[in-house]
Structure 1
Amino acid sequence: MTTGSATRPARERLLAAAGELFYEQGIAATGVDAVLARAGVSPSTLYAHFPGKDALVAAYLERRHRVWVQTWDEVLDGRTDPAERLLSVFDALALYRAREGSRRGCAFLAAATELPAGHPARAWLDADSHLLAGRLRELATAAGLDDADAEDLAAALLLLYDGALARWARDATVADLAQGDPLARARGLAADLLAARLPARS
């Protein structure tokens, strides 16, 4: 079965197929032949666009990263309350999950366990980590915290964010999560943390 219409550009079909298979089955477990079959293209077409599987993996993570940035930007747009701007990371993740699906949790966390040092796709794992830590730190600073407190708050929020993703991946096969949606719970804990840590505003 191919991904999408045969009229779509071959590179787009390859990325869509790779995105589905790498996410659903894992990067190491997915061979190039499976991607070719789902995309409905020949090996020569693949190698006309990508030098090999490593480059395809990098392009897959780059694509997910760009969609994630766009989603977070969309949620942030128009928010002025400092706490709500910090909580936007959880709301953006909920929106991303609704649009893209997240049956196995975070693609970047999953890839981090599979990709060796020096793999070209590691640049996008680093980009995702830097985006999360850097933006949360900037938002905390804009909320009135000094550098040290902003760094500490950003780290705490990241623990809640990563914990929610890890819990979601662990419970992904459970139809009805016994403890509720871990992302909603993480957002609630984050809101309590911000109420205690952010400077009061008149």
Structure 2
Amino acid sequence: MDSAKLPARDRILDAADRLFYGNGINATGVDAVIEEAGVARMTFYKHFGGKEGLILAYLGGRETRWQALLDQTVQDAGDDPDARLLAVFAALRTWARSLSRFRGCSFVNAMAELADAEHPARALVTSYKRGLRRTVLDLARATDAADPELLTDQLLLVYEGAISTFALGTVDDAVDRAYATARQLIAAATPTPAVA
């Protein structure tokens, strides 16, 4: 659909998504979003009340899209618990490659930019990251891993590291290497049956 035909609220969110992720939240003013969206100032304030409301909607939209991709990728992995856990990294690879300019995790970026500990977006970021950990832990518990908590922590360290190194360009093929590393960690977490 032509973006000019989208409802005003969607056009504002699309503009905020591009500008906040591409340029940063602090570097992007409300005026830039309004101009990019092609809406009146009053329309912007009617839908979001101000920049804080827009930041929350932007992060909420990113979380919704990521969760939909993750859920679909896990579902596509079938019934094998190891494959379902590895799907977290397959989804990350799909997400990272879908962006024309990958700037890392929008949630981590927001946390770094929003210095005020009371900013409501910080609570949303924390909730998102805790939710991701719960998802990975649930998937790890479904495997034969001897210590699902440890495996979850290891996988999340690889996951977060892959995002950072991919964004920085410091590791070639970071998301592919993270996928391979996750596969090794999952395999190593399963006890080898004793030979009689």
Q: How many residues align?
A: 190
1:130 maps to a residue whose letter is R
1:90 aligned onto 2:89? yes
Secondary structure class of the residue paired with 1:77:
helix
| 2: CA distance, partners of 1:124 / 1:66 | 12
TM-superposed deviation, 1:145: 3.8
CA change 1:67–1:193 in 2 (3 A) is same
2:113 is aligned to: 114
Aligned residues: CA RMSD:
1.7
Amino acid at match of 2:37: A
CA distances 1:123-155 after superposition (whole Å, capped 9, x unpaired): 331232122210111111111346xx2111101
How far is the alpha carbon of 1:109 from its aligned partner? 1.4
Please list, as runs of the form range in 1=range in 2, the aligned pairs for 1:134-149 lying within 5 A after superposition.
134-145=134-145, 149=147
Identity of aligned residues (%): 43
For the residue of structure 2 that corresponds to 1:6, the secondary structure is helix
154-163 or 185-194: which moved more?
185-194
CA spacing shift, 1:34–1:82, aligned 2, 3 Å: same
Provide the rounded CA distance (Å) in 2 between the counterparts of 1:102 and 1:110. 14
Output the CA distance in 2 between the equivalents of 1:101 and 1:72.
20
Give deviations 1:90-138, integer Å, cap 9, x for gaps.
Answer: 1011222333445211111111101221212223312321222101111
After superposition, give the CA deviation of every residue in 1:3-39 in whole Å (9 maximum; x if it has no partner). Answer: x532210000000000000000000010101001100
Q: TM-score, normalised by structure 1?
A: 0.87
Shift of 1:161: 0.4
Q: Any runs of at least 4 consecutive aligned residues in structure 1 with deviations exceeding 3 A, and if so which?
A: 98-102
Q: Gapped runs of 5+ residues in structure 1? A: 172-176
Q: Which residues in structure 2 correspond to 1:41-190 (within 5 Å)?
A: 41-78=39-76, 79-115=78-114, 116-145=116-145, 149-171=147-169, 179-190=171-182
